[in-house]
Structure 1
């Protein structure tokens, strides 16, 4: 499951401390996240396009790409909204702004953990009977 590296990356960033070195969590998270995200996109694109006849596979890939990009945009907007709201609410308690930003970032990373975990559950349930790709069926 290619979503597991994304979950690990989000958890690492959610628990990271300011006093820790970049190599402790942030590097590992930045290494794992693209592996998971690119793997998800490639596997999903191959799976979607293989379900259509060769004549329409290009259109299916284009529609998948459009939906994927729209989903990324909505996800980033929601994550920014979570971070901004948590930061704004924490600031109202007269805390330093850097501490408020850190709390907002942590909340956004925990939100990412939740979203990717839901994606992991959906893909585990939805793909459990998919079989082997490229296997010749007679």
Structure 2
């Protein structure tokens, strides 16, 4: 998955926004003001001498450990609560469909922690016929 493909997926979610609170090197994706994804090194794909881009996603703690054991490119979250966040290096070793699933899981985890009114509104939107994710065929 390229950084741009990830950006398209992150912004696909209802009410998702992009912010740069940590400067131009990190794109933060939020819903209702809460972060669900961080993309660092988005311009890395253009320069082969730099490290690949990295995504940091919220994750249920037991699942986070399972994913780290399964994929060497998944490590405890960089500059986040390492129990609840994973950082994934976009080096091609994690299949795209797995990255999409992890992003959906992260978004859902954040929604679950929102105020009831926000949670109910977003859950209702997700329950409707949503358009296909970027890259999916209908």
Instruction: Judging by fraction of residues, say which structure has more helix.
Output: 1
Q: Which has the higher contact order (CA 8 A, sep 6+)?
A: 1
Interval of TM-score (by shorter of Structure 1 and Structure 2): under 0.3
Instruction: Judging by fraction of residues, say which structure has more strand.
Output: 2
Q: Which structure is larger by alpha-carbon Rg, 1 or 2?
A: 1
TM-score between the two structures when normalised by the length of structure 2: 0.27
